[in-house]
A and B are shown apart, each in its own frame.
Chain A
Amino acid sequence: MSFRTMLATSVIVTLALLAGCTATSSSGSSSSGTPAGTPIGAGHGQVPAHIPGSPASVAVSLAETGSTLLYPLFGAWASAYHRQFPSVSFTTAATGSGTGIADASSGKADIGASDAFLSSGNLVQNPSLLNIPVAIAAQQINYNLPHLGAGVHVRLSSAVLALMYEGRISTWNDPAIARLNPGVPLPGIRVIPLHRAESSGDTFLFSSYLSTGDPHWNAAIGYGTSVAWPHVAGARAEEGNSGMVTGCAATPGCVAYVGISYLSQALNAGLGEAELQNASGQFVLPNGASLRAAVASFVPATPANETISMVNGPARAGYPIVNYEYAIVADRQPTVAKARDLQAFLHWAITTGNSASYLGRVRFEPLPRPVVSLADAQIARIR
């Protein structure tokens, strides 16, 4: 699986991104390692009156495809849901967000899993598609400084990271880094920035963070699923999140941006995890509290279609690189039974499926209650 969380603003994962993915598939009914099924409605109250609480009695198969980051979570959801409602079976596939969006648009898949919401251009071309957030995700910054002890988190800011990726900070003991990390024995080894080789939502999120903190980066390079990376001696391009983790592990002095669900792999590989400076000047690690805090500041402003960028928001305790993961679904379905099953399953996913037993394994966080309500309003439009 090659990628992770993507942006929050307008990213459509590109064909290049898709090309970097290895497609795999499974049947929901045969998945293993799933958390025990939890009763419907647990954790988030009752099923709204306009959404069916259970699927149709006829047998229906739901096809999910898309985000590799969401793939394990969808597999777990599919397995648990099938156990509870045997009439609903699933096929899930890790094909990349772009394929998820394309297949949901064309009707080849019932659910397109995406790390990004649809751009306005895509929505205008496919006005029947809904972006339904299903969980909160984030991006971490990892580094390879072997001699630093466990439990030490190097503090980095968007401005300093921008200078590191521009090559204007070339060693880890540069005064600009040292000022952020008093008392930390930073080594004098060369900074090796790693970036994604392919067009990526991760690159969009990371470059967005840099753009918000460094006017020079914003003016000269900017943000996007692809950016014109400055030439830096030793800098490397890696395929996917796993490539970023293994590449960084093999490169002392590296700095890399990686999806939150790869945290365990990164720590197991001996990589450090940075505390990032947010817009309030606070240094925070990506954890449940900081992710929830970051999202909470945007909840009241979330538009009805739930497309919102939350990078480097105003929350004092918020982690700066957070986003929603999305299910892309058409609001018109070929049969009443399929529409009903999609409604029931998606509501289950954002309520019961948002419990820690499902999200904890990928380090996602549950949706805030008002966002669930907005999502339910979108789910109710499926017919």
Chain B
Amino acid sequence: MTAVATMPAEGQGTGPGQLRAGGTPAILRLLLVGLTAGSLAWGIVAAWTVSQHASAADQVVTRSEPLSLDAQQMYRSLGDADVTATTAFLAGPPEPLAVRQRFEADIAQAAGDLAALRDSAATAGSGSTSATLAAGLAAISASLPVYTSYVAQAKTYSSLGYPLTGGSFMQVASEEMHLRLLPAARSVYAQVNAALAADSAGATGLPWIVAAVALALAIGIALVRTQAWLRRRTHRIVNIGLLAATLAVAISAIWLVAAFLTARSDFQQGLGHGSGPAERLAQAAISAQQARGDEVLNLISRSGSTSFQQDFAAMRARIGPGPGSLLAAAAASSPAGPAASAVSAAGRDASRWYAVAGQVFKLDLAASYAAETHLVIGAGPQSSSAVFGRLESDLGRAIAADQVVFRRNASAGRGAFADLEAAVIAAALAMAAGSAWGLSRRLAEYR
């Protein structure tokens, strides 16, 4: 319904451009076409923007984050397999069932994750990133059976009564792990994490949202000025159609901006306090596994070389919890709650483990191999094995807690775009209809 006053005399009115009186119908037609087209354009741009952000958010939740988890699991499973195999070898035949099952589970987990990542890489298309990822996955595919065959040879020789030959094969297996498998797994993890960060950035990137908001502002201004002009030309206070269109563009634009800001905040929270610290903790877990391998392989090799001790020291500095370490970085970014408490526990247990390792290397220097073996793989609560197990558990809990943080925030970020695409389309249609109806009514008065 339109509030009606008297039509002004032709030529008396003022309006956009101080047009001739005879041009009013033409102006109205021009406004009708322009505002209708602008409304539809807003619908297209806003819907496309929402679609892009929602799609990227969905990609993060349904694809990138699960793939990142696969890559991390593969990385950690490979490291754990090596530690498990060397520890079992040191314990000597017969290999405990639980240890064998853990090794087999690690290899199965790594193989399963590898398959999932290969499937994903195959569908990811071409490009240098995909090529790097594919190369890393191919390297793991080639080396994993080589590694397991060396471990099998080590166990075979050991069980046949040639433990030293078995020990040399275990070292060759460990070399395969540390020189080929783990670097490739690290590369894959880095690639997949980069993809996760890129998808997260895509969900919260600025360019399209800025363009959409600018368009909304332009249309809103055009609607307001048109109503003002009509008010002056027709002395009608309100044009219901144009008012409805103005409200529609305002509501849909505000909704879009609010959704975007919410999603951006959620994703930044998820990256900064979820996947970021989880990645650093995963690196710490791998480094801890490598350091544990140094302890065990040093005892198998008994070479008199300090190379294992040097590597342990390097891993210790990397893990932390000292300044600049992975644990320190994770502690700074893990949110208060389960993740932070697990990271703190990891720091404490890491320090305890280093103290035990110090005793281990002292015993090695004194050639007290029996006592060293007992301390490295013994079942007592103060053994290196037990303290390392607690550190692993702490890190696992912290990683899981950080992953929950990321998943919760990413899901919330994706949820921010829910129904928005339909809403902006509906708003655009309402704007177009309102503009057309409101202006066509005025236009009809000239017929």
A residues near B, CB below 8 A? 8-14, 16-17, 116, 119-125, 127, 199, 204, 208, 211-212, 219-228, 279, 298, 301, 303, 305, 307-314
Q: Quick one: which of B348-382 are within 8 Å of A by CB?
A: 366-370, 373
Taking CB atoms, residues of chain A closer than 8 Å to B298 are 121
Contact B301 A121 (CB under 8 A): yes
Separation of A153 and B175 alpha carbons in the complex (Å): 42
Contact A119 B301 (CB under 8 A): yes
Question: B300 within 8 Å of A by Cβ?
Answer: yes
Contact A119 B307 (CB under 8 A): yes
Separation of A226 and B306 alpha carbons in the complex (Å): 13
Do A225 and B304 form a contact, CB below 8 Å, given A121-B297, A123-B179, A124-B311? yes
Contact A120 B304 (CB under 8 A): no
Do A305 and B172 form a contact, CB below 8 Å, given A9-B301, A310-B165? yes
Nearest CB of chain A from residue B178's CB, rounded to whole Å: 5
By beta carbon, the residue of chain B nearest A227 is: B367
Separation of A310 and B172 alpha carbons in the complex (Å): 14
Query: In the complex, given contacts A125-B307, A219-B370, what are 20 additional A-B residue pairs having Cβ atoms less than 8 angstroms apart?
Result: A9-B168, A10-B171, A10-B300, A11-B302, A119-B171, A119-B307, A121-B297, A121-B298, A121-B305, A124-B311, A125-B310, A204-B304, A212-B162, A222-B302, A227-B369, A303-B172, A307-B171, A309-B167, A312-B164, A314-B160
How many positions in chain B have a CB within 8 Å of any CB in the partner chain?
A: 37
Question: B239 within 8 Å of A by Cβ?
Answer: no
Taking CB atoms, residues of chain A closer than 8 Å to B175 are 120, 123-124, 305
Taking CB atoms, residues of chain A closer than 8 Å to B169 are 301, 303, 308
Contact A121 B162 (CB under 8 A): no
Nearest CB of chain B from residue A378's CB, rounded to whole Å: 14
Q: Annotate B138-155 by CB proximity to A: 1 below 8 A, 0 otherwise.
A: 000000000000100100
Separation of A127 and B174 alpha carbons in the complex (Å): 13
Taking CB atoms, residues of chain A closer than 8 Å to B338 are none
Separation of A126 and B135 alpha carbons in the complex (Å): 23
Which of B164, B165, B167, B304 neighbours the largest number of chain A CB atoms within 10 Å of its CB?
A: B304
Contact B162 A11 (CB under 8 A): no
Taking CB atoms, residues of chain A closer than 8 Å to B308 are 119, 121
For the residues of B in contact with A, the DSSP-based class is helix
Taking CB atoms, residues of chain A closer than 8 Å to B157 are 301
Q: Quick one: which of B167-198 are within 8 Å of A by CB?
A: 167-169, 171-172, 174-175, 178-179
Separation of A116 and B175 alpha carbons in the complex (Å): 16
Nearest CB of chain B from residue A371's CB, rounded to whole Å: 14
Q: Quick one: which of B294-347 are within 8 Å of A by CB?
A: 294, 297-298, 300-305, 307-308, 310-311
By beta carbon, the residue of chain B nearest A116 is: B303
Partner of B153, one of A228, A301, A313: A301
Partner of B165, one of A119, A220, A221, A309: A309
Contact A124 B179 (CB under 8 A): yes
Separation of A222 and B167 alpha carbons in the complex (Å): 14
Contact B161 A120 (CB under 8 A): no
Contact A298 B301 (CB under 8 A): no
Nearest CB of chain B from residue A181's CB, rounded to whole Å: 25
Taking CB atoms, residues of chain B closer than 8 Å to A310 are 165
Contact A224 B367 (CB under 8 A): yes
Separation of A194 and B370 alpha carbons in the complex (Å): 22
Contact A224 B369 (CB under 8 A): yes
Question: B163 within 8 Å of A by Cβ?
Answer: yes
Q: Quick one: which of B220-253 are within 8 Å of A by CB?
A: none
Nearest CB of chain A from residue B46's CB, rounded to whole Å: 54
Contact B165 A308 (CB under 8 A): yes
Contact B304 A9 (CB under 8 A): no
Contact A298 B370 (CB under 8 A): no
By beta carbon, the residue of chain B nearest A303 is: B172
Separation of A9 and B163 alpha carbons in the complex (Å): 10
Q: List 16 A-B contacts (CB under 8 A).
A: A8-B164, A10-B301, A14-B305, A17-B304, A119-B171, A119-B301, A120-B171, A120-B172, A121-B301, A121-B311, A123-B179, A222-B370, A308-B168, A308-B169, A309-B168, A314-B162
Nearest CB of chain B from residue A332's CB, rounded to whole Å: 15
Closest 3 CB pairs of A and B: A10-B301, A12-B305, A225-B304
Taking CB atoms, residues of chain A closer than 8 Å to B307 are 12, 119, 121-122, 124-125
Taking CB atoms, residues of chain A closer than 8 Å to B174 are 120, 124
Do A10 and B160 form a contact, CB below 8 Å, given A120-B171, A309-B167? no
Contact B178 A303 (CB under 8 A): no
Taking CB atoms, residues of chain A closer than 8 Å to B368 are 228
By beta carbon, the residue of chain B nearest A226 is: B367
Nearest CB of chain B from residue A5's CB, rounded to whole Å: 15
Taking CB atoms, residues of chain A closer than 8 Å to B167 are 9-10, 309
By beta carbon, the residue of chain B nearest A6 is: B303
